Chains A and B, each alone.
Chain A
Amino acid sequence: MSAIQLTANGLALGASYALVALGFVLIVNATGAVNFAQGDLAVAGGFLTVALAGAMNLPGGVLLPIAMAAMAGFGVVFAYLAYFPLRRQPPATVFISTIALGIVLENGANGLFGAAPRLGPPLLPGGPVELSGLVLPRQSLAIVAVTCVAIAGLHLVLMHTQFGRRLRATAQDAEMARAVGIPVGVMIAWTFALATGLAGAAGMLLSNQFFVAPGDGTNLMLKAYIAVTIGGWGRVWGAVAGALIVAFFETIVAVLLSQSAAEMLLYLAVLGVLGLRPRGLFGETIGRRA
């Protein structure tokens, strides 16, 4: 019984990390730059839904697309602040600019909402679901479901639409894409919008399940970075697998050993992956790392 509950919790945690990691991967692929504010963008999404839930009496299922759309719009603004003015500078410059904007976001949330953790709205109303004696948190199941839909939708858009082909072309070779008439700047702005929309979804889901506090972004970003490193730099499915592996350590390994031991083993496993498969479990799609 405990094993199934643990697995459900682990999957929910991994799914949340995966949404953050996916946005991270999209931007890495499109720009070659690491967006270190991805965790803070998820936190911003969490606080946005806290504010929306306070202002509008709407169910979580309605708030989710609103939050994703609003965050996607903010993603474009973010791109024009953190990426476009510095796009011709070395990648480390963008890396620094995203850290700086992440700090602004964190302190902005602190100023606007205060330091206290906040509870976001549930995606689905109601208490835990009981199945054959098992008590499974409804929100955990919702997180897993939303993440599956988001991943499937992303896969569909990237692999089976003209828009997705243009995005991929931009990610693979921006100069060649520009030469064949693809508006590279617009595609990159769309990529930031998609990535930030996913962060918004992650933020909303996390804010109900695990609360949201201004300082949470750094830890989320670290988990996403590890997930991407394990899965393979720039690999969408690698990011998902990596996120689930991180969550596996935090739940299953933690119950078998201890939380501290699980944390140490996770980082040793990362070192092992880097030593044995430097390009991650699924290989890299790009060769640059920050």
Chain B
Amino acid sequence: MRLIQTNVAMIALAAAIVLVHPASIGPAMAQTATIRIPVLVPLTGPLALEGTSQRNGAVMALSNPPAGVRLEYEVLDTGAAPETAVNALERALARGGVSVIVAPIFGAQMLAMLPIAAERRVPLITISGTAQLTEMGNPYVFRFFPNDSVAKNAHALYVVEALGKKRPAVLFQTTAYGQSGRQHLAANFARLGATVVFEEGLDINLKDFLPALIKAKQASADALVLQLHAAPTALLLRQAASMGLSLPIVAGSAMHQPTTAALLQPAERKGVCAESASSPVSSVDPAVERWVAAYRREFGAEPDDFALTQYDGVRMAIDAAVQGARGPEEMRAALASRSFQGLAMAYKSDGVGNMAHDAIIMCYDDQGRPRIDRRYPRLG
């Protein structure tokens, strides 16, 4: 097995906004099929943290190919704008031979890429939670993360049924991710008989959350429900602790990320819960524990469920290749019809590309350590 790694990332970063990360070629065996899987993720901009996890998960899967396939991949930064993602997609496709593409977690970028993927007939595998992606009748998108109809169902169920709260306040990001989550939360709370007493959209660059927290308190909310990205989640929780807010807080999936938790003191995250697809660092499954150890060795960081579910997604595509899927159309058919047991959960398309149907609620205990509090299997 020969591994060639060309790390030109920093030089390219200095020269251009678009970044090219390590290109890796798997075992160079004469009779093996070559599968090309570009990894298009946001490594800069507001979603760089999530995009880096996504990249790491994909790279872990691509760096360890099974016998019978040769993997080629490159990592392209999709930055902060839809047009950058489209440019990256065009660049990846221009090189030819693409079987499947790892596509960004950033919902707005995915929405821009979907028509091109359909036109060029190339499947995209993503972990973006934006529900709309699989509601547009595009057969070339496969989501390996619970979409909002699953995740926000679990989110609302936990608030209403587990916590017994009926007057939540919802703070959401004004991005596609935030808007989509807010819409599903509102529908689920209504279905469960809860009344959203206050809601507000918050810009992703906002630094002061005190106004929104004060208004939630003034509205007599009995729980605070967040649909925010990683840094805003940590900042809001810090300011909530600073103002002595005593409401139970159930955050979005960003809060399960170890890097988000690391920004907070144990006392600031104590009692905070979050929905997620999985929590690899809390898992007691030996296979996940081995994966977590490998991830730590490889990247010197704590893995989150974005990394794990993206790993599972790429492993499913590789498994399809091992089973004989070669070009993009065969890969699409395999992803659409097969099931796959990943590390986080079992994946199978619901007919529109939603592969993940389980969700969990994890909470931080008195010492600020994460633990899985509830599991919600097969919600979607």
Q: Write the residues of chain A forming the contact surface with B, with a CB cutoff of 8 angstroms.
A: 2, 5-6, 9-10, 13, 103-104, 106-108, 110-111, 114-119, 128, 135, 137, 210-211, 213-216, 219, 247, 250-252, 254-255, 258-260, 262-263
Supposing A104-B14, A135-B244 touch, asked if A117 and B208 sit within 8 A by C-beta, the answer is no
Name 14 interchain pairs, CB-CB below 8 A, sorted by A.
A5-B210, A106-B44, A107-B44, A114-B52, A116-B52, A211-B263, A213-B49, A247-B208, A251-B210, A255-B215, A258-B201, A259-B200, A259-B212, A260-B174
Evaluate contact between A254 and B211: CB separation under 8 angstroms.
yes
Evaluate contact between B80 and A215: CB separation under 8 angstroms.
yes
Q: Does B214 interact with chain A (Cβ within 8 Å)?
A: yes
User: Which of B205, B206, B208, B230 gathers most chain A CB within 10 Å?
Assistant: B208
The residue in chain B whose Cβ has the minimal distance to the Cβ of A140 is B242
Evaluate contact between A115 and B49: CB separation under 8 angstroms.
yes
CB of A221 to closest CB in B, whole Å: 11
Evaluate contact between B263 and A115: CB separation under 8 angstroms.
no
Evaluate contact between A117 and B243: CB separation under 8 angstroms.
no
For A6, give its contact among B48, B49, B206, B211 (CB under 8 Å).
B211
Evaluate contact between A115 and B44: CB separation under 8 angstroms.
yes
Evaluate contact between A115 and B48: CB separation under 8 angstroms.
yes
For B14, give its contact among A107, A118, A260, A263 (CB under 8 Å).
A107
Bound form: Cα–Cα A210–B210 in Å? 12
CB of A280 to closest CB in B, whole Å: 24
For A250, give its contact among B9, B13, B200, B207 (CB under 8 Å).
B207
Kindly list chain A residues whose C-beta atoms are within 8 Å of the C-beta of B205: 216, 219
Bound form: Cα–Cα A220–B51 in Å? 22
Evaluate contact between A119 and B203: CB separation under 8 angstroms.
no
For B45, give its contact among A13, A116, A117, A215 (CB under 8 Å).
A215
Q: Does B19 interact with chain A (Cβ within 8 Å)?
A: yes
Q: Does B327 interact with chain A (Cβ within 8 Å)?
A: no
Q: At the interface, is chain A mostly helix, strand, loop or mixed? A: helix
Evaluate contact between B208 and A9: CB separation under 8 angstroms.
yes
The residue in chain A whose Cβ has the minimal distance to the Cβ of B217 is A2
Closest 4 CB pairs of A and B: A115-B48, A255-B211, A107-B13, A254-B211
Evaluate contact between A263 and B203: CB separation under 8 angstroms.
yes
CB of B199 to closest CB in A, whole Å: 10
Chain B residues numbered 38-55 whose CB sits less than 8 Å from any CB in chain A: 43-46, 48-49, 51-52
Known: A108-B13, A252-B211, A254-B212. 7 other contacts (CB 8 A): A6-B214, A111-B13, A114-B52, A116-B262, A251-B208, A255-B215, A259-B206
Q: Does B282 interact with chain A (Cβ within 8 Å)?
A: no
Bound form: Cα–Cα A211–B207 in Å? 9
For A259, give its contact among B46, B211, B234, B235 (CB under 8 Å).
B211
Evaluate contact between B46 and A111: CB separation under 8 angstroms.
no
CB of A52 to closest CB in B, whole Å: 18
For B207, give its contact among A13, A115, A252, A255 (CB under 8 Å).
A13
Bound form: Cα–Cα A191–B80 in Å? 33
Kindly list chain A residues whose C-beta atoms are within 8 Å of the C-beta of B48: 110, 115, 213-215
Evaluate contact between B208 and A13: CB separation under 8 angstroms.
yes
For A260, give its contact among B9, B10, B44, B201 (CB under 8 Å).
B201
The residue in chain A whose Cβ has the minimal distance to the Cβ of B55 is A115
Evaluate contact between A251 and B211: CB separation under 8 angstroms.
yes
Kindly list chain A residues whose C-beta atoms are within 8 Å of the C-beta of B174: 260
CB of B22 to closest CB in A, whole Å: 13
CB of B124 to closest CB in A, whole Å: 22
CB of A87 to closest CB in B, whole Å: 23
CB of B21 to closest CB in A, whole Å: 11
Evaluate contact between B206 and A115: CB separation under 8 angstroms.
no
Bound form: Cα–Cα A53–B10 in Å? 25
Kindly list chain A residues whose C-beta atoms are within 8 Å of the C-beta of B211: 6, 251-252, 254-255, 259, 262
Bound form: Cα–Cα A219–B262 in Å? 24
Kindly list chain A residues whose C-beta atoms are within 8 Å of the C-beta of B45: 215
CB of A263 to closest CB in B, whole Å: 6
Kindly list chain B residues whose C-beta atoms are within 8 Å of the C-beta of A5: 210, 243
User: Which of A5, A118, A250, A259 gathers most chain B CB within 10 Å?
Assistant: A259
Kindly list chain A residues whose C-beta atoms are within 8 Å of the C-beta of B10: 107-108, 111
Supposing A13-B207, A219-B205, A251-B211 touch, asked if A110 and B43 sit within 8 A by C-beta, the answer is yes
Evaluate contact between B208 and A250: CB separation under 8 angstroms.
yes
Q: Does B301 interact with chain A (Cβ within 8 Å)?
A: yes
Evaluate contact between B242 and A210: CB separation under 8 angstroms.
no
Kindly list chain B residues whose C-beta atoms are within 8 Å of the C-beta of A106: 44
Bound form: Cα–Cα A189–B198 in Å? 52
Evaluate contact between B207 and A108: CB separation under 8 angstroms.
no
Kindly list chain A residues whose C-beta atoms are within 8 Å of the C-beta of B212: 254, 259
Bound form: Cα–Cα A179–B327 in Å? 72
CB of A199 to closest CB in B, whole Å: 17
Q: Does B259 interact with chain A (Cβ within 8 Å)?
A: yes
Evaluate contact between B207 and A117: CB separation under 8 angstroms.
no
For B43, give its contact among A115, A117, A118 (CB under 8 Å).
A115
Bound form: Cα–Cα A259–B228 in Å? 14
The residue in chain B whose Cβ has the minimal distance to the Cβ of A138 is B242
For A211, give its contact among B44, B52, B202, B234 (CB under 8 Å).
B234
Bound form: Cα–Cα A251–B244 in Å? 18
The residue in chain B whose Cβ has the minimal distance to the Cβ of A115 is B48
Bound form: Cα–Cα A254–B206 in Å? 11
Supposing A6-B211, A110-B43, A254-B211 touch, asked if A259 and B201 sit within 8 A by C-beta, the answer is yes
CB of B182 to closest CB in A, whole Å: 13
Evaluate contact between A115 and B51: CB separation under 8 angstroms.
yes
Bound form: Cα–Cα A17–B253 in Å? 31
Bound form: Cα–Cα A258–B199 in Å? 10
Q: Does B17 interact with chain A (Cβ within 8 Å)?
A: yes
Bound form: Cα–Cα A110–B212 in Å? 30
Evaluate contact between B235 and A210: CB separation under 8 angstroms.
yes
Q: Does B360 interact with chain A (Cβ within 8 Å)?
A: no
Kindly list chain B residues whose C-beta atoms are within 8 Å of the C-beta of A211: 231, 234-235, 263
Kindly list chain A residues whose C-beta atoms are within 8 Å of the C-beta of B46: 215
